[in-house]
Homo-oligomer: A and B are copies of this chain.
């Protein structure tokens, strides 16, 4: 069973079990290379709204700001481009990606495929959903919502869906889906009030968890489908609104964005 996990391998339950507890530690972020750290910072700045969609990111400026060399910045850019967070054009550099309505539609098409397939798998008994992990995530989201930490609510909600998809135990599905979840966060940025977006999804996730825990998987699947339709519609509407108001037709040359 080749589980290509970069970090500790879970098969460490043999021999002198003294170190086993250490293996379960949160692994305090190795973040090995400078490029990864740089990418992390840029990513964070994007999701905090400091680097808004459309913002060009010059290599020299980032190099100075992050205190790393230009080569390292370029390396970080490449990572973020492959995550679809930046768009790249030769000799023109990178800019923070604009998520269009078309993009959202495309992302949700993939979400439906992967998430509904996961439920189908569970219905057919091919794999099992991790009910307790799912429940924990809902609880975490509820606590964050109660405390008003809406950004965290959004993040945890996405992990909730990742956990569902993980039931298929497909490394590639997990990877692609994770990237989709990162990308869709660009769509969250158009909401000035995150509560508006995430607020009522928390109780619905709780309901989903209840259905799954109760074994009512068919009902859960139906609910999930509705959930996805509505989420897509809500983000699409928000994007349409914001693109009308703030004239963002400044998309310059050509029509689309390159660099996928």
Question: A: which residues have CB within 8 A of B?
Answer: 1-6, 9, 11, 30, 32-33, 71, 74-75, 78-79, 82, 90-91, 100, 102-103, 106-107, 109-110, 113, 117, 168, 170-173, 175-176, 180, 254-260
Q: List 9 A-B contacts (CB under 8 A).
A: A2-B102, A2-B103, A4-B257, A6-B259, A32-B91, A75-B75, A75-B78, A106-B172, A107-B172
- Which B residue's beta carbon lies closest to that of A3? B256
Contact B110 A2 (CB under 8 A): no
Contact A260 B100 (CB under 8 A): no
Bound-complex Cα distance A256 to B255 (A) = 43
Choice from B9, B113, B173, B256 contacting A4 with Cβ under 8 Å: B256
Bound-complex Cα distance A90 to B255 (A) = 39
Q: A82-B82, A107-B172, A110-B170 are in contact. List 18 more A-B contacts (CB 8 A).
A: A1-B102, A4-B257, A4-B259, A4-B260, A5-B258, A9-B254, A9-B256, A11-B255, A32-B90, A33-B90, A71-B71, A78-B79, A106-B173, A109-B170, A113-B113, A171-B260, A172-B180, A176-B176
Bound-complex Cα distance A156 to B176 (A) = 25
- Highest count of chain B CB atoms <10 Å: which of A75, A79, A100, A260: A260
Contact A4 B172 (CB under 8 A): no
Distance in angstroms from A39 CB to nearest chain B CB is 12
Among all A-B residue pairs, the 8 with the closest Cβ atoms: A2-B256, A32-B90, A4-B256, A6-B258, A82-B82, A106-B172, A4-B260, A106-B170
Contact B258 A4 (CB under 8 A): yes
Distance in angstroms from A50 CB to nearest chain B CB is 25
